[in-house]
Amino acid sequence: MLPPRGGHRGHPVNVSPMARPLATDTDVDRTALEEFIRPRHHAVLSTFRSDGGVQMSPVTMGVALDGSILISSYPERAKARNLRNRPQASLCVLSDSFGDAWVQVSGPATVHDLPEALDGLVDYFRSISGEHPDWEEYRRAMVTQGKVLIRVEIQQWGPVSRGGFPARLMEEDQ
C-alpha cells in the first residue's frame, strides 16, 4: 500500500537538493602519503591464496616510524599463511567514515613470529593507541595469545581518492 499523497501518513514532504560531492584523486608524494595514513587505522588487506585467488581481510593497522604498515594477527590466520607463501600485500587504507578519502598501497610483506615480533607489536600498539599503562603486561598478553606481526613495506601507492560524482556530471548542474 502506498502512503497518502504528500508523504508518509499525510505529513508534508520536504525535498531539498542533496549535496553532490565531487569524486577526487589527489597524487601524493611519500611524505604526504604517510601524513594521510598515519592517523587512519582501518584497512582492507589483500593477499594471495595458494591457488592464486585473492584473500581480503579487514584489519586494524598502524604505521611504524619507518613508514611501514604494522598489523597484529595470529599465525594460523589466512593472511599470515598467505603472506608466508607469497610475501606481497596490498591495502586499501580507509578513513573512519566510509564515504571519506582512502588510498591503496602495496609492497612486500613479512610475518614476524615471537619472540622477534614483540618490539614490533609494541610499535603497533603505540602507533594506534599511544602509551600502554603497563608494557610488561602487554608483552605477556602478546606471548600468551601467540601473536604475530605483519609488516608491509610500502613501495607503490595510488592517489588519495574520495568517491562522488564525476566532474562531467557536476558541470551539468551549472
Please write down the HEC assignment for all residues of the chain. Answer: CCCCCCCHHHCCCCCCCCCCCECEEECCCHHHHHHHHCCCCEEEEEEECCCCCEEEEEEEEEECCCCCEEEEECCCCHHHHHHHHCCEEEEEEECCCCCCCEEEEEEEEEEECCCCCHHHHHHHHHHHHCCCCCHHHHHHHHHHHCCEEEEECCCEECCEEECCECHHHHHHCC
Q: What is the pLDDT of residue 159?
A: 98
As a whole number of angstroms, the distance between CA 75 and CA 2 comes to 55
Q: What is the pLDDT of residue 62?
A: 98
Q: Is residue 121 situated within a structural domain?
A: yes
Tell me: pLDDT of 2 over 50. Answer: no
Q: Is residue 139 situated within a structural domain?
A: yes
pLDDT of 22-35, one tens digit each?
889 999 999 999 99
The phi and psi torsions of 123 (rounded to 5 degrees) equal -60, -40
Tell me: pLDDT of 174 over 70. Answer: no
Q: What is the pLDDT of residue 139?
A: 97
Number of domains in the chain: 1
pLDDT of 73-123, one tens digit each?
999 999 999 999 999 999 999 999 888 999 999 999 999 999 999 999 999
Tell me: pLDDT of 3 over 50. Answer: no
> Is the distance from CB of 108 to CB of 87 less than 8 angstroms?
yes
Q: Which stretch of 18-32, 55-69, 78-92, 130-144 has the lowest confidence by average pLDDT?
A: 18-32
The domain in which residue 134 lies consists of 24-157
The CATH number of whichever domain residue 65 belongs to comes to 2.30.110.10
Tell me: pLDDT of 1 over 50. Answer: no
